[in-house]
Amino acid sequence: MKSGGRLKPYSELGKLLDSLARRRHVRGPYNIAWRVRETTGYKVSGQTVSKCLYGQSLPRRMFIEAFCDAFELTQQERSELAWTYTYGDLPEVKARRKERKGPTIIL
């Protein structure tokens, strides 16, 4: 999605949803929506999935459940998705970001 000539990044939840779908050879919001619709019957549009990926809206709990079923997520993947849905970021990701920034020096 472009905003003022720049590409807008996915939200943390969007990155995880996209990654889980790509592991199963499904790319893009419209293909994700199609897969969820066809395998579970949950009605969702590509535009709605796109808004969720970019963080413009939070997906409903029913969509997350349908996504898990459609992509046959493992228990570990479901746990990661639940954490990210609830808190926004996995603890180890936050720790890695702090390490990259380096120590804070106060003078």
Q: Please state the domain extents for the chain.
A: 2-101
Q: What pLDDT does 105 receive? A: 55
Task: Write down the CATH number for the domain with range 2-101.
Answer: 1.10.260
Query: Can you give the pTM of this predicted structure?
Result: 0.77
Ramachandran angles phi, psi of 106, nearest 5°? -110, 125
Structure-token pair, residue 27: 């790319």
Tens of pLDDT, residue by residue over 43-102, are: 999 999 999 999 999 999 999 999 999 999 999 999 999 999 998 866 555 555 556 555
Tens of pLDDT, residue by residue over 11-27, are: 999 999 999 999 999 99
Provide the total of helices (H) and of strands (E) in the chain, helices listed first: 6, 2
Q: Where are the beta strands (DSSP E) in the chain?
A: 2-3, 6-7
